[in-house]
Amino acid sequence: MTPGAATNGHALRTRTSELLRFATAGSVDDGKSTLIGRLLHDSKAILEDQLEHVIRTSERRGDGYVNLALLTDGLRAEREQGITIDVAYRYFQTPRRKFVIADTPGHEQYTRNMVTGASTADVSIILVDARKGVIEQTRRHAYIASLLRIPHLVVCVNKMDLVEYDEAVFEQIVEELTDWTARLDISDISFIPISALHGDNVVERSLQMAWYDGPPLLYHLEHVVIAPDRNLTDIRFPVQWVIRPNSEEHHDYRGYAGQVAGGVLHPGDEVMVLPSGQRTRVSAIDTFKGSVDSAFPDMSVTVRVEDELDISRGDMLVEPDDPPAAARELEAMVCWMGSDPLRPGARLVIKHTTRTTRARLEDLDYRVDVNTLEHLPADELALNEIGRVRIRTGSPLIVDPYARNRTTGSFILIDEATNDTVAAGMVLAAR
Partner 1 sequence: MNPLHYELSHLETLEAEAIHIFREVAAEFERPVLLFSGGKDSLVLLRLAEKAFRPGRFPFPIMHVDTGHNFPEVLEFRDRLIAELGERLIVASVQESIDRGRVVEETGPRASRNRLQIVTLLDAIAEHGFDAAFGGARRDEERARAKERVFSFRDDFGQWEPKRQRPEIWSLYNGRIRKGEHVRVFPLSNWTELDVWQYIAQERLEVPSIYYAHTRQVFERDGMLYALSPHVQLIEGEEPFEASVRYRTVGDMTCTGAVRSLATTLPEVVSEIAATRVTERGETRADDRVTEAAMEDRKREGYF
Ligand X SMILES: Nc1nc2c(ncn2[C@@H]2O[C@H](COP(=O)(O)OP(=O)(O)O)[C@@H](O)[C@H]2O)c(=O)[nH]1
| 343: nearest Cα among 391, 379, 368 | 379
Residues 357-416, interacting with ligand X (CB under 6 A) = none
How crowded is the C-beta side of 8, counted as CA atoms within 13 Å? 9
Minimum Å gap between C-beta 212 and ligand X is 15
Helix axes 110-118, 136-147, angle to 10 degrees: 40
Runs of H (alpha helix) within 135-260: 136-147, 167-181, 217-223
Minimum Å gap between C-beta 159 and ligand X is 4
Which of 1, 5, 19, 28 touches ligand X by CB under 6 A?
A: 28
Residues 333-362, interacting with partner 1 (CB under 8 A) = 337, 349, 351-352, 354
Minimum Å gap between C-beta 98 and partner 1 is 4
Minimum Å gap between C-beta 387 and ligand X is 28
Which of 3, 7, 25, 32 touches ligand X by CB under 6 A?
A: 32
Residues in the chain: 431
Nearer to ligand X, 32 or 97 (CB): 32
Residues 289-318, interacting with partner 1 (CB under 8 A) = 293-294, 296-300, 313
Count Cβ neighbours within 10 Å for each residue of 210-237 and write b for 16 or more, e otherwise.
eebeebbbbbbbbebeeeebbbeebbbb
Which of 86, 161, 329, 369 touches ligand X by CB under 6 A?
A: 161
Please report whether residue 410 would count as binding partner 1 according to CB under 8 A: yes
Minimum Å gap between C-beta 232 and partner 1 is 6
Which of 4, 20, 33, 231 touches ligand X by CB under 6 A?
A: 33
d(CA 298, CA 289): 17
Residues 182-211, interacting with ligand X (CB under 6 A) = 195-197
| 38: nearest Cα among 83, 92, 79 | 92
d(CA 27, CA 215): 24
| 29: nearest Cα among 159, 194, 152, 160 | 159
Please report whether residue 245 would count as binding partner 1 according to CB under 8 A: yes
Query: Residues in the site for ligand X, rule: CB under 6 A?
Result: 26, 28-34, 69, 158-159, 161-162, 195-197
